[in-house]
Structure 1
Amino acid sequence: MIEILTNRLMIIPCSLDIAKSLVFHRKELDKQSPIEFPICWPSAFVKGFLPLYIENLESKEKKNDCGLWLIILYEEKRIIGDILMQGKPSKEGMVELCYHVDEKQVDETIAFEAVDAFIDWLTYQKFVTKVVMECEVAQERSIRLFEKLGMLCTEKEGRFLMWEIQKKDFE
């Protein structure tokens, strides 16, 4: 299994078993898992995505090649958020990500550490040359995070901002 490790975090892909347990057997998962799954996790966005994710993992063809990754606060053995890779990288090497962290339980440096490590891993393992992320104008924490990552705001559509960082920016 792939593990992305930082000083405080372990970022791992969400397995089919965990995804199914989240949907169908949450109480059992909470009882038996050595990792704590907070009540507030997953987010509504990820809950809505899980059936498609399960279907994709069960499919032999892996149509979307999307990925749900769990962000685990290593010492506490507690999930604090997730990163969602929305499809496989395009032919040009572009991938869209979104992230969710429990802002009530962790500070902004944790989100930076997680997203930075994941983008670093992506650029070396998946031949990604551009990462795109989106947020709303009112999401000040996300805007600060994207700026700290060195991302540029490339588009504003209504209340949404599109951010990107390219491979040359990583070096």
Structure 2
Amino acid sequence: MKIETARLDLIPCTPSAMALIEHYTITERVKQHMYAIEDDISLFGWGTWFVMDHTRQQIIGDVGFKSKPDQDGVVEMLYQISHDAQGNGFATEALDAMIHWALAQDEVYKVTAKCESHNDAAIHVFKKLKMTPTATHHNVLQWEICQH
């Protein structure tokens, strides 16, 4: 399974997907998800997805969700794009695809995301995605987008 956009492939993180990775630093969060999915297949799709640039044919970041949807149908979205790939709209393109994928799942009603209040790049991305700011707590902004 993968999600294709105009410039990107989004590939769910699995042990077999690790073979695709060159020159990309795997965070502890990604490693934990990879091992958790081996024990609980229901996590598939609800963790990290690698972002592959079609042109470079390499991983330039990761997007995904903190966990499976909760009982209210809410998932929290996370992302990071490699420094050398930032400023090209890749985050917006990847997150847009992830939002559409998540909201197409029967168990999801709302997608949320967080960023620090001084993170202008993330704020710009979330605004472009038509997410709504809903709360601020200790300089962290919460954003959301819901099914209509």
Q: Which TM-score band (shorter chain)?
A: 0.7 to 0.9
1:1-171 aligned within 5 A: 2-19=1-18, 35=20, 37-39=22-24, 41-42=25-26, 47-59=27-39, 61-62=40-41, 66-168=46-148
CA distance 1:103–1:130, shift in 2 (3 Å): same
- Taking the aligned partners of 2:23 and 2:106, their CA distance within structure 1 comes to 30
Report SS of the residue matched to 2:104. Answer: helix
TM-score, reference length from structure 2? 0.87
- Taking the aligned partners of 2:2 and 2:125, their CA distance within structure 1 comes to 23
Displacement after TM superposition at 1:108 (Å): 4.2
- Taking the aligned partners of 1:140 and 1:4, their CA distance within structure 2 comes to 27
Which is greater in Rg?
1
* Matching residue of 1:26: none
CA distance 1:50–1:117, shift in 2 (3 Å): closer
Displacement after TM superposition at 1:3 (Å): 1.1
- Taking the aligned partners of 1:36 and 1:106, their CA distance within structure 2 comes to 18
CA distance 1:16–1:108, shift in 2 (3 Å): same
Q: What amino acid sits opposite 2:22 in the alignment?
A: F
Query: Higher mean Cα deviation, 87-96 or 10-19?
Result: 10-19
CA RMSD of aligned residues (A): 2.1
CA distance 1:118–1:126, shift in 2 (3 Å): farther
- Taking only the aligned residue pairs, the percentage that are identical comes to 29
Choose between structure 1 and 2: higher helix proportion: 1
Q: What amino acid sits opposite 1:14 in the alignment?
A: C
Runs of 4+ in 1 over 6 A off after TM superposition: none
Report SS of the residue matched to 2:144. Answer: strand
TM-score, reference length from structure 1? 0.76
Q: What amino acid sits opposite 1:11 in the alignment?
A: L
CA distance 1:156–1:13, shift in 2 (3 Å): same
Report SS of the residue matched to 2:6. Answer: coil
Give 5+ residue unaligned stretches, structure 2: none
Give aligned pairs, total: 147
Displacement after TM superposition at 1:106 (Å): 3.6
- Check the 8 A contact 1:12/1:70 in 2, yes or no: yes
Report SS of the residue matched to 1:155. Answer: strand
Give 5+ residue unaligned stretches, structure 1: 20-32
Displacement after TM superposition at 1:90 (Å): 1.6
Report SS of the residue matched to 2:84. Answer: coil
Report SS of the residue matched to 1:38. Answer: coil
